[in-house]
């Protein structure tokens, strides 16, 4: 359990560094077909459905690869 928490923390750290120094790498997030973005007046609603499905599939494949 501790190993998975360490790996998760390291991945989140790397994502944070990438987002800070290379923001153009993550421009695709939230702009895929199927992501819902509604902006009107003073309110904004953002629901990244397709992006979350893609990330879920990617994480599932990675976890299954590391388990074996």
Each domain of the chain, given as residue ranges in start order, spans 24-68
Query: Could you say which DSSP state residue 32 is in?
Result: S
Please check whether residue 28 is in contact with residue 52, taking contact to mean a CB–CB distance below 8 angstroms. Answer: no
The pLDDT score that the predictor gives to residue 53 is: 93
Q: What is the pLDDT of residues 24-52, one digit of tens each?
A: 887 877 788 999 999 999 999 999 999 89
- Close Cβ partners of 25 (under 8 Å, ≥ 6 residues apart): 18, 19
Burial (CB < 10 A; 0-12, 13-18, 19+), residue 23, is exposed
* Residue 23 binned pLDDT confidence (cut-offs 50, 70, 90): confident
Average pLDDT, the chain: 88
């Amino acid at each position: 359990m501790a190993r998975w928490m360490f790996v998760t923390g390291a991945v989140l750290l790397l994502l944070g560094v990438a987002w800070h120094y290379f923001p153009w790498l993550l421009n695709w997030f939230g702009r895929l077909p199927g992501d819902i973005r509604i902006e009107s007046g003073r309110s904004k609603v953002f629901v990244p459905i397709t992006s979350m499905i893609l990330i879920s599939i990617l994480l599932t494949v990675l976890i299954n690869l590391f388990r074996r």
